[in-house]
Amino acid sequence: MPLTLPQLDFWEEFSFHPDQPVSTVAHCVEIEGDVDVEKLLRAISQTVREAEVLSIRFSDEKEQGRPVQLCDPAHMPDVDFVDLSAFPDPRAEAGRRMETDLSAPLDLRRDRMSAHALYRIGARQYIWYIRAHHIIIDGYGVALIEQRCGQLYSHFCGQGESGHPFHPFASFIHEEDAYRASPRWEADRKFWQDYLDGPVRLPILDRGAEDYGEAGYHHDVAFRDDISIGLRAMAKATDIGWPDLLVLLSGLYLSRMLPMQGEDEGLTLWLPFMSRWGSVGAHMPGLLVNILPFHLEF
């Protein structure tokens, strides 16, 4: 199967920076309580087997002018159970192991794309660790894996139905191929051509730059209660979801603060957009998020 357009971005990034773990993603879930470890490991293992994207391997061979990918059962990750409770600080030891794994570069042409581990850090405390390369999965896909595992664990414990397994990855590729051969694809292409036809300046990241991916930057802010209340009130008054309103307000702030932006040009932001609803991707882990240009004028 050929790589999808979102996947091609990460393949290009890897070709420029094969020795940097710039797009490795991970998440951990802390579990506290009376856990049936055997049933939990069974649930994690079945979930991993259902998520075919976790077994993807890549090849430089070309199909439709793009590298190809294959769901290979031999590349399916194992689920490791590691008892760290005897360490002086089990939580810190789990963190060290996760950080070591996360910081190791992945060779997209050779390595397994995902790893899973269940760490026991106390008599009733566990950490479930999920790591993958972004080329195979996005944040929503990780959430699907965690939700599916919870459903299966409850079922194995005698609570609830087993639910439906994930859709196969090939069904999404077939859906994408059908879309590209449809009138809707032509209409969507015309929309974006018209949308970008004008003085819209698109900031493009140079993946080949020497300083690309040297460090990640993030900043967390806990809103005061009055700001949260005001944001929700404004969202209700404008009939806009508060996350979308926050994006608009951030764009307004940046358009006023960035010196390279002229008032007449506006500001173009790249926004992640998840087009899953109405698609097999609604119940299939994978990389389905695209980055779309959003032009703001004030």
* In the predicted structure, residue 82 carries a pLDDT above the cut 70: yes
Tokens (6 digits) for 278: 């109405």
Nearest to residue 25, comparing CAs of 98, 93, 95?
Answer: 98
* pLDDT tens readout for residues 222-270: 889 999 999 999 999 988 888 888 888 887 787 777 755 455 566 777 8
For residue 191, is pLDDT > 80?
Answer: yes
Instruction: Match 């810190």 to its residue by tokens.
Output: 92
Supply the pTM of this predicted model. 0.84
Cα–Cα distance measured from residue 37 to residue 49, given in angstroms and rounded to the nearest whole number: 18
Residue 35 sits at the vertex; the CA angle it makes with 32 and 36, to the nearest 5 degrees, is: 165
- The identity of residue 5, as a single letter, is L
Which residue in 16, 73, 56, 54 sits closest to 132, CA to CA?
54
Lowest mean pLDDT among 70-84, 210-224, 274-288: 210-224
Q: Domains of the chain (ranges plus CATH)?
A: 5-167 (3.30.559.10), 173-212+219-296 (no CATH)
At 142, the pLDDT band (50, 70, 90 cuts) reads very high
Which residues face 63 on adjacent strands?
66
Q: Which residue from 243, 297, 295 is spatially nearest to 269, judged by alpha carbons? A: 295
Per-residue model confidence as pLDDT tens digits over 83-103: 999 999 999 999 999 999 999
| Beta carbons within 8 Å of 79's beta carbon, 6+ residues apart | 41, 44, 45, 48, 116, 117, 118
The pLDDT of residue 112: 94
Q: Which token pair is 108?
A: 């997209």
Whole-number Å distance between alpha carbons of 168 and 176: 13
Give percent above pLDDT 90 in the chain: 59
Query: Three-state DSSP class for 160?
Result: coil
Residue 42 has pLDDT above 90, yes or no: yes
